[in-house]
């Protein structure tokens, strides 16, 4: 367990890394006693500073909910991070790669809420009832902590490696389709790189949102009407570089395209 001075110092390091698009040495190598709760406290400080600077909190991301992501990272439990309005891009955007570090893309579904979701006993049925619509989304990962050997403690402190998100395609009501069977084809520069099905996220993507609501309750927080929730990736992270065009085809739910410069 760390003290408040150590947590603040880590938040300072991460803020500099985000501003300078650099990485800091792995936290768990330097602070072997650092816990998951320490990491969420560091993340909360990062969010607090963003709000105080005038950034608008619009939702949360859930990470590491699928086996493919857990195998890709070596981390076996979910985590969450915060999404600010300035991190949300529309379909067709041209995105500046220099805003991020170690840029990767994940394929997800985003839940947009119409009602509050507050733990501790939120179920999949509560999530579906509280959801206004579900829309295809891509997450841009940006790592500000050294990637080699990192644990969930490193990832959570790094705001779950969130860089940004892109939404697009066709918004649907949560009961309009079988969300478990939503699938996507992921292309980079017109070459297919990966495919996935949303059931990979805890057997149903709404289960990720239920997990999040219950986890936030443990931290004295809840999900609000209008929040955007990235429910977790059902493809492995795909590296992208300046000049790359990314296209994700969700079939009946439409497609998302963006280009990195």
> Can you spell out the DSSP letters for 196-248?
EEGGGBTTSHHHHHHHHHHHHHHTT--B-TT-EEE---SS--EE--TT-EEEE
pLDDT at residue 252 greater than cutoff 90: yes
**Domains of the chain, earliest start first:** 4-260 (3.90.850.10)
Average model confidence (pLDDT) across the chain: 93
What pLDDT is attached to residue 39?
Answer: 95
Which tens digit of pLDDT belongs to each residue from 90-147? 999 999 999 998 999 999 999 999 999 998 999 999 999 999 999 999 999 999 998 8
How far is the C-alpha of 215 from the C-alpha of 210, rounded, in Å?
9
In terms of pTM, does the model score above 0.85?
A: yes
What pLDDT is attached to residue 162?
Answer: 95
How far is the C-alpha of 111 from the C-alpha of 128, rounded, in Å?
9
Q: How far is CA 209 from CA 26, 78, 203, 233, 235, in A?
A: 28, 11, 12, 13, 18
As a whole number of Å, the CA-based R_g of the chain is 17
Whether the CB-CB separation of 92 and 168 falls below 8 Å is answered with yes
Residue 65: is the preceding peptide bond cis (ω within 30°)?
no
How far is the C-alpha of 160 from the C-alpha of 27, rounded, in Å?
14
Please report the DSSP string for 117-176 in residue order.
Answer: B--SS--HHHHHHHEEEEEEEEEEE---B--TT--HHHHHHTGGGEEEEEE-S--B-TTT
How far is the C-alpha of 254 from the C-alpha of 167, rounded, in Å?
11
How far is the C-alpha of 120 from the C-alpha of 42, rounded, in Å?
23
How far is the C-alpha of 165 from the C-alpha of 162, rounded, in Å?
8
What pLDDT is attached to residue 149?
Answer: 83
Angle (deg, nearest 10), helices 36-52 and 4-20: 60
């Amino acid at each position: 367990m760390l003290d408040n001075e150590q947590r603040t110092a880590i938040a300072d390091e991460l803020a500099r890394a985000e501003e300078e698009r650099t990485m800091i040495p792995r936290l768990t190598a330097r602070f072997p006693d650092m816990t998951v709760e320490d990491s969420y406290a560091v993340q909360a400080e990062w969010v607090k500073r963003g709000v105080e600077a005038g950034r608008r909190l619009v939702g949360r991301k859930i990470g590491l909910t699928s086996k493919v992501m857990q195998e890709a990272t070596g981390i076996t439990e979910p985590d969450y991070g915060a999404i600010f309005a300035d991190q949300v891009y529309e379909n067709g955007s041209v995105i500046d790669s220099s805003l991020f570090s170690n840029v990767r893309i994940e394929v997800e579904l985003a839940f947009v809420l119409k009602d509050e979701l507050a733990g501790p006993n939120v179920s999949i049925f509560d999530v579906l009832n509280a959801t206004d619509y579900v829309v295809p989304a891509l997450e841009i990962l940006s790592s500000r902590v050294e990637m080699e050997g990192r644990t969930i403690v490193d990832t959570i402190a790094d705001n779950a490696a969130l860089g940004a998100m892109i939404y697009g395609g066709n918004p649907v009501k949560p009961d309009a389709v079988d969300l478990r069977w939503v699938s996507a084809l992921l292309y980079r520069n017109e070459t297919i790189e990966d495919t996935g099905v949303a059931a990979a996220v805890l057997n149903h993507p709404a289960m990720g949102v239920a997990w999040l609501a219950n986890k936030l309750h443990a931290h004295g927080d809840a999900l609000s009407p209008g929040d955007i929730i990235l429910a977790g990736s059902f493809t492995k992270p795909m590296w992208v570089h300046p000049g790359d065009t990314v296209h994700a085809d969700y079939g009946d739910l439409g497609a998302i395209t963006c280009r990195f410069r």
